[in-house]
Structure 1
Amino acid sequence: MKNKIINTLVVGFLACFMILPGCTKLLDKQPITQVVTNTGTTSITASQAENALSGVYNAEIGYDYGLEFNVLDRITNADVQSDNCYAGGDNPDNIAIDLFTANAANGNIDRDWKDAYGIIATANIAIAQVQACTDPALSATRKNQILGEARFMRAFTYFDLVRLFGRIPLMLKPVDQTNSETLIKSTLVPQSSADTAYQAILQDLWFAKNNVQNDNTPPDKMVVTKGAVNSILAKVYASMPTPNWDSVAYYCDQVIPNYTLMPNYTFLWDNNHKNNSEAIWEFNYVGWSVIGNWIPSQFIGSGWKKFATPTNDLVNTFRTEGDSVRLYASITFVNYGWPDPYWKDPNNYPILSKYNDPNNGTNDFYMIRLADIILLRAEAYNAKGLTTNAAALINLIRARVNLLPTTAVSQGDIALAIEKERRLELAFEGHRWFDLVRTGRSITVMNAQKDGTGNNLNYNVKPYQLVFPIPQNQIDNNVLLKQNAGY
């Protein structure tokens, strides 16, 4: 995957819309949900079809949209919002998400909406262009592979949006730019229910499953394969308002035999084992000469207090479990001298260290890896009362980091054991908040949180706060949008 390649068919109009807001007053008034580009209906060449797909990958991983939405804000939304991290730093938008005081004017939330719909717009345009391609140099198999990969990335983005915001507008084709009247009509889209959004996500994923490459075919794990699609299908079925555990089990079983756990947990983070046997979908960052990952500099380094500080509760859970391998692979204790309301000892200050190359930008990011799917399979076993099978999978993950088998036996205890194992195994990978919400545990867990001296943190989370508010900017620009209840 040549990450520098940007779809030349889309970049011109994006530059006008996103970089030069004064291009037209009409477009100034359109909601960012509807980022528009030149969608031309004339047939493109096979080479341009490949470039269109590269443009979607670039949106997914790159600086315009994906690096913040899919990496930095994934950690904020799933780890900082949960019991894994405090906000750290001094950014009021991050802190508001951490403290459950965020409102519709929150800059992070507004940015996430914009970035997500920017990715979706890029995918929509690529899908339309490739569907229209009649160049005989583009085989039917390759054409469907391209469409499958693009539709997967659109589905993946909508999956994040529906979990973050609940009711969302569904844009499944490029906007109509025939004239200003049709442009306005095609951009003012109302919200769909979560059930409707999930059905659209499933339609894209089913198409992708039938058309993308087989597991481990491309050496670059950034390329979407059946393993990535089956993994997200399993996660979708576990996250829907009514989980379907039979489907979760089926799709996990399509994934697990085709990957293997790395023998040493630290290999996942040493930057010497990219695209390894455990990686299912991995964002490849190769450094500043092509595309680098600047996210590690937000967590590590001197000069200013960094974001996403590990919590007392997480550190204590690692230590109580005797889990020194994952503790020290995930967290480094440093002497930075920063004042902090949660950590009183500046000489023993925890920083997130799974992403450890802030200077060269080479750290990859695992969007999906095998341990996640193994533990999700354990949940599916447990949901069916097969506690012994579930415990065996928990113990498989524990054995890698030299921990004794779980002592949990009952279905309820196994559920909590899986929850804890997912927390320690996947810390700072953007899963924790979503796990707590889909299992119905978020309010109980968050309202019980204490600081380092045992005082309750008084988050006082309410049910309506399980989703973000719709950004006020979007409501102002789209009269069909309605604010989520409670905000």
Structure 2
Amino acid sequence: MKNIVVIVVTLCLVACGDDFLNKTDPATLVASGFYKTEPQARQAVNGVYGQLQGIISSQWLYNEFITDNTTLHFNTGDRGQGPDTEALEFWQVNSGTLNIATLYSSIYLSLVNINTTLSKLPAATFDAALKKQYEGELRFIRAYYYFLLVQYFGEVIIITEPLVTPSEAYAYERQPVDQVYELVLGDLGFAIDALPATYDAASAGRATQGAALTLLGKVQLTRKEYSAAITTLRRVTTLGYSLLTDYADVFDPQHKNHAESIWEIQFQGDNTQGEGSNFIYTFAPLYSDGSVIHFPGQNGGGWNIPSRDMIAAYEPDDLRKDASLKEGYYNQSDVWVPVPFINKYNHPHTIRGVTNDNWPVLRYADVLLMLAEAINEDAKGPTQEAYDYLNAVRDRAGLDDLSGLDEVSFRAAVLHERRVELAFENHRWFDLKRTKTPEALAEFLNAYAAVEKSNPTTDRGGIPYTPGDYQFSPYEVLFPIPANERRINTKLSQNTGYN
């Protein structure tokens, strides 16, 4: 981990140099004295990887919590999170929702560092091949960020050069979705050519050719370019990835960066260097008092709780269920408490609040299921190849092979399989958006909401739902542009349905 994560503020400290009396224009954002040598460039690239930790740690809000997969352990004694965090669960988001503003600004903040480093690499004085690799890594991460942005917000600002003065930011306008995807596709094309298939163990976690190909295939699938997605994703199957035998091992910190892992965000626990994760502290139930997180008196945040609907999605004897979630726990008095929680990121650790779990972003099971989906859509029905990919994932889960399905039922089977295979890994929201029209998605989510409201996953202590809770409209497939961004840049338009 320490090989690829450097606290970003270090870049500023090194760039300032020892001659702190040699002042530059305080309105200028880009320092010119850094990025010249390989260690400096590596430090800058590592800083970009470091920013991924914060972004991925909150992504559950926007990709799981907003869907039918998860809900919350309702906190009857503290309603302070109602207008912000709970707004995502209950589809009460507006342009003033703080978490939406944080999502938007955190991605663009990282893009600043990416664009600055990319602009400096051509003048750097080290090996051209290594410079190309660094450029490939940066452009891969930029493509990933812009894929997130276009999925969350639709039209967005495109920035590919560093800003020299703050006032320049006020001149940008949102660009059409197709132009955003042009940037994504261009960056991924470069990354595929520039990145190696593998690294040595010390560089584990860096973006690879396989990661770039997988993300490209996902983008093509999202754009319904099925033939192109098939060609791209088949390339991934030739790169040596394979499914692990035991599903639980995919998430075990003892098996990081394994044969199934294509790209995972690196965290390092069991020390106080500030690079640990803490997912289970967010996901464990409230009042669990050391029964889930095994430190005396330790409670969880009660967020991202598996819904009853999610629990019921598992087929009988699905081996993935126990590794993915628990339906409750025994408290310190040995009494069963029926509050479910995510178990994928629940592993022993030595320091309270510091876990060693990485976060899987792209893995081989995802590739196989995307291939099955793309082939079914392209061929207007499942071929044997599509069944082979789908059933390989089911076989590991201990489930029977599927056969005899038509195009529509196979499509539904793949979406279901993605839900349980990739549960709580931040795929569900984009899967639903990709496979349903806004109107169909609204109908689907409102049907789920009616059931959840009638029988909530966790007790609400008699507190009723508000009139707007769990009412999803088609326009909400996109998030609003944050109000504070529109105040400082009046050229930014708002998405339909929001003020």
Give the TM-score category using the shorter length: 0.7 to 0.9
- The residue aligned with 1:283 is 265
1:5-84 mapped onto 2 (5 Å cutoff): 5-6=6-7, 10-12=11-13, 37-40=29-32, 44-61=36-53, 67=54, 69-72=55-58, 74-84=59-69
Shift of 1:452: 5.8
1:373-392 mapped onto 2 (5 Å cutoff): 373-385=367-379, 386-388=381-383, 389-392=385-388
Residues 323 and 126 from structure 1, CA distance in 2 versus in 1: closer, same or farther, beyond 3 angstroms? farther
Shift of 1:454: 5.8
1:325 aligns with 2:326: no
1:17-416 mapped onto 2 (5 Å cutoff): 37-40=29-32, 44-61=36-53, 67=54, 69-72=55-58, 74-88=59-73, 90=75, 91-92=81-82, 93-133=84-124, 135=125, 138-177=126-165, 183-215=166-198, 220-240=203-223, 243-258=224-239, 259-287=241-269, 288-290=271-273, 291-300=275-284, 301=293, 302-303=298-299, 305-318=301-314, 321-335=315-329, 347-357=337-347, 359=352, 360-385=354-379, 386-388=381-383, 389-407=385-403, 409-416=405-412
Q: Would you say the 8 A contact 1:283–1:367 is kept in 2?
A: yes
Shift of 1:14: 11
Shift of 1:76: 1.6
Give the secondary structure class of the aligned counterpart of 2:362.
Answer: strand
Q: Distance in 2 between matches of 1:296 and 1:84?
A: 17
- The residue aligned with 1:20 is none
Q: Would you say the 8 A contact 1:88–1:95 is kept in 2?
A: no
Q: Would you say the 8 A contact 2:73–2:302 is kept in 1?
A: yes
Q: Would you say the 8 A contact 2:30–2:163 is kept in 1?
A: no
Q: Would you say the 8 A contact 1:175–1:186 is kept in 2?
A: yes
Alpha-carbon displacement from aligned partner over 1:82-105 (angstroms, at most 9, x marks no partner): 110014455222211111111011
Q: Distance in 2 between matches of 1:390 and 1:256?
A: 13
Q: Distance in 2 between matches of 1:185 and 1:220?
A: 36
Residues 87 and 408 from structure 1, CA distance in 2 versus in 1: closer, same or farther, beyond 3 angstroms? farther
Q: Distance in 1 between matches of 2:201 and 2:378?
A: 35
Q: Distance in 1 between matches of 2:36 and 2:204?
A: 27
Q: Distance in 2 between matches of 1:236 and 1:14?
A: 36
1:427 aligns with 2:411: no
Alpha-carbon displacement from aligned partner over 1:433-486 (angstroms, at most 9, x marks no partner): 100001115323212204368669983322210010011110111111111110
Tell which deviates more after alignment, 160-169 or 286-295.
286-295
Alpha-carbon displacement from aligned partner over 1:118-158 (angstroms, at most 9, x marks no partner): 1111111111121221x1xx211111000010111111111
Q: Would you say the 8 A contact 2:280–2:300 is kept in 1?
A: no
Q: Distance in 2 between matches of 1:9 and 1:175?
A: 20
Q: Which amino acid aligns with 2:12?
A: V
Q: Which amino acid aligns with 1:404?
A: D
Shift of 1:210: 0.9
Shift of 1:382: 0.2
Tell which deviates more after alignment, 210-219 or 231-240.
210-219
Give ranges in structure 1 of 5+ residues lacking alignment. 16-23, 28-35, 62-66, 178-182, 338-344
Give ranges in structure 2 of 5+ residues lacking alignment. 17-24, 76-80, 285-292, 457-464
Q: Percent identity?
A: 28
Tell which deviates more after alignment, 209-218 or 427-436.
209-218
Alpha-carbon displacement from aligned partner over 1:59-99 (angstroms, at most 9, x marks no partner): 222xxxxx2x2232x21211111110014455222211111
Shift of 1:284: 1.7
Alpha-carbon displacement from aligned partner over 1:406-428 (angstroms, at most 9, x marks no partner): 25510000000000000000000
Residues 460 and 402 from structure 1, CA distance in 2 versus in 1: closer, same or farther, beyond 3 angstroms? same
Shift of 1:232: 0.4
Q: Would you say the 8 A contact 1:214–1:227 is kept in 2?
A: yes
With structure 2 as the length reference, what TM-score do the two structures score?
Answer: 0.83
Q: Distance in 1 between matches of 2:194 and 2:15?
A: 29
Q: Which amino acid aligns with 1:257?
A: T
Tell which deviates more after alignment, 433-442 or 183-192.
183-192
Shift of 1:335: 3.9
Residues 232 and 14 from structure 1, CA distance in 2 versus in 1: closer, same or farther, beyond 3 angstroms? farther
Q: Would you say the 8 A contact 1:271–1:363 is kept in 2?
A: yes
Shift of 1:215: 3.9
- The residue aligned with 1:19 is none
Residues 275 and 446 from structure 1, CA distance in 2 versus in 1: closer, same or farther, beyond 3 angstroms? same
Q: Distance in 2 between matches of 1:153 and 1:377?
A: 23
- The residue aligned with 2:471 is 460
Q: Would you say the 8 A contact 1:299–1:306 is kept in 2?
A: yes
Give the secondary structure class of the aligned counterpart of 1:469.
Answer: coil
Shift of 1:400: 0.2
Shift of 1:221: 3.9
Give the secondary structure class of the aligned counterpart of 1:349.
Answer: coil
Q: Would you say the 8 A contact 2:188–2:216 is kept in 1?
A: yes
Q: Distance in 2 between matches of 1:49 and 1:4?
A: 13
Q: Distance in 2 between matches of 1:415 and 1:465?
A: 24
Q: Which amino acid aligns with 2:178?
A: D
Q: Distance in 2 between matches of 1:434 and 1:304?
A: 27
Q: Distance in 2 between matches of 1:266 and 1:335?
A: 19
Q: Distance in 2 between matches of 1:80 and 1:43?
A: 39
1:451 aligns with 2:451: yes
Tell which deviates more after alignment, 156-165 or 298-307.
298-307
Q: Distance in 2 between matches of 1:276 and 1:37?
A: 40
Aligned-pair RMSD on alpha carbons? 2.6
Shift of 1:381: 0.7
Tell which deviates more after alignment, 122-131 or 90-99.
90-99
Q: Distance in 1 between matches of 2:88 and 2:235?
A: 36
Q: How many residues align?
A: 444
Give the secondary structure class of the aligned counterpart of 2:304.
Answer: strand
With structure 1 as the length reference, what TM-score do the two structures score?
Answer: 0.85
